[in-house]
Amino acid sequence: MKRTRKSSSSNEKPVDFKKSKAIDFFADHFCTNLEDALYEKVNAGAEISKKTLKSDLFEDCNVTINSTAASHLHCTNPSKILNFDEFNLNPKILQNFLIHNKGDASEEQKELYQIIGRYMDLCLISGRKDYLPLLSLHIVNHLNRTRDAIVENNTKLEKSSKAGELTEEIVEECRDQGLARPKVLFITSMKKYAYEFVHSLSDVTFSEKDKRTIMNSQRFEDEFGDTGYVPPSKRNEDFRELMSGNIDDCFRLGIQYAKKALKLYQKFSESDVLVCSPLGLRMIVGEEGEAEREVDFLASIEIIIIDKTNQILMQNWEHLQHIIDETNGMPSKLEVDISRVRHWSLQNLGKIYRQTILFSEYNFTELHSLYASACKNYAGGVFIVKNPEPMLELIEKPLIQEFHRFDCDVPKYQSDLRFEYFTKNILPSLEHGTLIFVSSYFDFIRLRNYMKKEGESFVQLHEYGKDKKIARARGMFYQRRKKLIVMTERFYYFKRYFIKKVASLVFYQLPVNAKFFVELVNDSDPEGRLESKVIYSKYDFFRMQNIFGIEQAKQLIKSEKKFHALVSE
Which residues does 481 contact at the CB level (< 8 Å), separation at least 6?
Answer: none
Q: For 508-547, what is each residue's pLDDT tens digit?
A: 999 999 999 999 999 999 988 999 999 999 999 999 999 9
Residue 91, domain member (yes or no): yes
Q: Give yes or no: residues 174 and 308 share one domain.
A: yes
Domain annotation covers residue 67:
no
445 with 307, same domain?
no
Determine the Cα–Cα distance for residues 119 and 353; give it in Å rounded to an integer: 9
443-478 tens-digit pLDDT? 999 999 999 999 999 999 999 999 999 999 999 999
Local confidence band at 47 (pLDDT 50, 70, 90 cut-offs): confident
**pLDDT range class, residue 35, cuts 50, 70, 90:** confident
Average pLDDT score over residue span 104-114: 92
Per-residue model confidence (pLDDT) at position 55: 63
What pLDDT sits at residue 234? 87
In a domain, 428, yes or no: yes
Instruction: Examine residue 119 and state whether it is found in any structural domain, yes or no.
Output: no
pLDDT value at 10 more than 70: no
- State the pLDDT confidence band at 14, using cuts at 50, 70 and 90: very low
- 59-97 tens-digit pLDDT: 888 999 999 988 888 888 888 889 998 999 999 999 999
Question: Residue ranges of the alpha helices (H) in 68-117?
Answer: 91-100, 107-116
Distance CA 312, CA 495 (A): 16
Residues 209, 327, single domain; the answer is: yes
Least confident stretch, 41-55, 85-99, 156-170, 389-403: 41-55
Residue 297 or 22, more confident? 297
Q: Calculate what percentage of the chain has a pLDDT beyond 70.
A: 96
> Span 476-503, mean pLDDT?
96
The structural domain count of the chain equals 2
Q: Does position 45 have pLDDT exceeding 90, yes or no?
A: no
In a domain, 181, yes or no: yes
- For all residues of the chain together, what is the average pLDDT? 92
Pairing status of strand 273-276 against strand 252-257: antiparallel
Could you write out the DSSP letters of every residue in 276-306?
E-HHHHHHHH--TT-TT---GGGTT--EEEE
**Same domain (yes/no): 452, 558:** yes
- Residue 66 belongs to some domain of the structure: no
Can you say whether the dihedral through the CA atoms of 190, 107, 126, 118 is positive or negative?
Answer: positive
- Do 500 and 442 share a domain, yes or no? yes
The per-residue pLDDT for 248 is: 98
Q: Residue 520: which CATH number?
A: 3.40.50.300
Digit-coded pLDDT (tens) for 329-368: 999 988 889 999 999 999 999 999 999 999 999 999 999 9
Domain extent at residue 412: 392-568
Domain boundary residue among 357, 381, 412? 357
Q: Are residues 176 and 251 in the same domain?
A: yes
Mean pLDDT on 473-486: 97
3-state secondary structure of 34: coil
224, 295: one domain: yes
Beta pairing, strands 399-405 & 530-536: parallel
Distance CA 523, CA 498 (A): 7
438 C-beta neighbours (distance < 10 Å), count: 28
Q: pLDDT digit string (tens) for 204-257?
A: 999 888 888 999 999 999 999 999 999 998 888 999 999 999 999 999 999 999
Same domain for 80 and 216, yes or no, is yes
DSSP letter (8 states) at residue 525: -
Residues 345 and 410 in one domain: no
Domain identity same for 216 and 153: yes
92-95-99-102 Cα dihedral, nearest 10 degrees? 150
Q: Where are any strands of DSSP class E within 7-139? A: 49-52, 61-67, 121-125
Assigned domain for 53 exists: no
What local confidence, expressed as pLDDT, does residue 78 receive?
86
Check whether residue 84 and residue 219 sit in a common domain: yes
Any domain includes 362 = no
DSSP string for 421-475: HIIIIIGGG--TTEEEEES-HHHHHHHHHHHHHTT--EEEE-TT--HHHHHHHHH
309, 340, 357 - which closes a domain: 357
Domain ends where: 305, 334, 357? Answer: 357
Given a cut of 60, is residue 7 above it in pLDDT?
Answer: no
Of 473 and 387, the structure prediction assigns the larger pLDDT to 473
Query: How confident is the model over 376-396, as a mean pLDDT?
Result: 91
Q: Are residues 294 and 412 in the same domain?
A: no
Q: Is 147 exposed, middle or buried (0-12, 13-18, 19+ CB in 10 A)?
A: middle
